[in-house]
Structure 1
Amino acid sequence: MKQSLLIVEDDEPTRAFLADNLSADGFKVACAGGVGEGLRAIEVRHPSLVLLDLGLEESHGLDLLDRVRSADGIASRFDPDLPVIVITGRAAEADRVRGFARGADDYLVKPFHYGELLGRVRAVLRRSAGRPRRGVLRVGELTLDPLTRAVRVGGRPVHLSAKEFSLLQALAEDPTRVRSKNELLRDVWGYVSIGQTRTVDAHACRLRRKLGPSGRGWVVNVRGVGYKLTDAS
């Protein structure tokens, strides 16, 4: 079965070049010229990967990325883990850092060689396919369903944001292991910190509160290392 790609690019020659070559290389390709059209295509077509230009006329490409990454995976029809490769003429380090911080899986600067783009597309798709698809995860009275993105503690539903859910899932997949902050930043937020950041700490704190009175026992901060999940039943 062909893997499907969505190209969100407002430059028609670039869009046609990518669509023709990727189709010739065995992908099923759809195109959109802007953020609104791209979001509708994601909802309807459920692509395996999105190639996203940033300099779109109607809106910034990162607006689309924000909508996808902030989806809860339940009420929304967007998969918050949908692979996205940014393709843009913006080569500054600040633009690259911003793209990864907002959830891009890869960042490619124009002009580029098609062979490099194809290699990056295949690499991101391999990583995406390698993500474990598991059933319900259980740690004591805490259950987490990756498919429905539902979380319960002792039968009580717990409503989490997309990032809180992803953080909890990363910890629940191997509760015997301490996950470093850099690992969590990479796996949950999609970037590696180049300095001090409180992103993981802030989300872990909110996660504790939402898990209930014993939340501090569920999400444990191992000082100087990172976080782990323990049975606080």
Structure 2
Amino acid sequence: MTDDRPMILIVEDDRTTRGFLADNLSADGFEPIGVESVAEALSTLDERYPDIVLLDLGLPDRDGLELVREIRGADGVASRLDPALPLLVLSGRANELTRVRAIERGADDILPKPFGYAELRARIHALLRRSEQRTRCGRMRVGPLEVDPAARSVRLNGRPISLSQKEFALLRTLCTDPTRVHSKDELLRNIWGYRQLGCNRKGPP
């Protein structure tokens, strides 16, 4: 049996708020994951692929806006971070300046604390509706090969294939436009990050 519940990452250092959100979201059919710092959020995003992030700004290790910046700045190819991941900021300092900065950094929405859970749930559903088409369009199929960038999964004839991070990035690049011929220099630059071919004359590892 598969779990098709939307996964929500809650990045909130207040245990009471985090527990309140997790309990209510779980009761409403979501799969909540709670963490309390930017470091824990990045570690979770490296292993799991949530459908949306609820993000507090006043976190103990770094400002929540730094997480927004890292996610939006990801390349979406070699990085495990999805630059299009929906981000909903929850903050007790949601004055006009903070709201502007959050939106400028790439947040999709911001809700000031204290907030009503019913409004939060409505905003979550709105973001999920907007991202649904993006998720569908992200899946690529080339013959018997299926690549799902959002889930970082690959299937061949319906069977899962295990790939390293670089292998997945290479396959995704090739599947994006399967009829195009990519030069070695281009692949080295886009996948391995080399500025010029001379940086690695023996080719990628």
Alignment of 1:1-233 (within 5 A): 1-131=4-134, 133=137, 148=172, 155-156=182-183, 157=186
Tell me how far 1:135 sits from its aligned partner. Answer: 7.5
Q: Kindly indicate whether the alpha-carbon contact (under 8 Å) linking 1:5 and 1:50 is maintained by their aligned counterparts in 2.
A: yes
Percent identity among equivalent residues? 48
Q: Kindly indicate whether the alpha-carbon contact (under 8 Å) linking 1:22 and 1:29 is maintained by their aligned counterparts in 2.
A: yes
List gaps (5 residues or longer) in structure 1. Answer: 137-145, 161-233
Q: SS state of the match for residue 91, structure 1?
A: coil
Match of 1:185 in 2: none
Distance between the aligned counterparts of 2:51 and 2:67, measured in 1? 16
Cα offsets for 1:163-205 (capped at 9, x unmatched): xxxxxxxxxxxxxxxxxxxxxxxxxxxxxxxxxxxxxxxxxxx
Q: Kindly indicate whether the alpha-carbon contact (under 8 Å) linking 1:10 and 1:33 is maintained by their aligned counterparts in 2.
A: yes
Pairs aligned (count):
153
In the superposition, the TM-score normalised over structure 1's length comes to 0.60
In the superposition, the TM-score normalised over structure 2's length comes to 0.67
Q: SS state of the match for residue 125, structure 2?
A: helix
> 4+ runs of 1 displaced by more than 2 Å?
146-160
Distance between the aligned counterparts of 1:38 and 1:135, measured in 2? 25
Distance between the aligned counterparts of 1:43 and 1:134, measured in 2? 19
Distance between the aligned counterparts of 1:50 and 1:66, measured in 2? 13
Cα offsets for 1:144-177 (capped at 9, x unmatched): xx953578987443857xxxxxxxxxxxxxxxxx
Q: Kindly indicate whether the alpha-carbon contact (under 8 Å) linking 1:8 and 1:35 is maintained by their aligned counterparts in 2.
A: yes
Root-mean-square deviation (CA, aligned residues, Å) is 2.5
Amino acid in the other structure paired with 1:133 = C
Q: 1:44 to 1:21 in 2, by over 3 A?
A: same
Q: SS state of the match for residue 50, structure 1?
A: strand
Q: SS state of the match for residue 133, structure 1?
A: helix
Q: SS state of the match for residue 130, structure 1?
A: helix
Q: 1:14 to 1:134 in 2, by over 3 A?
A: closer
Distance between the aligned counterparts of 2:66 and 2:58, measured in 1? 11
Cα offsets for 1:44-98 (capped at 9, x unmatched): 1111100000011111001111111111122211111111100001121111010
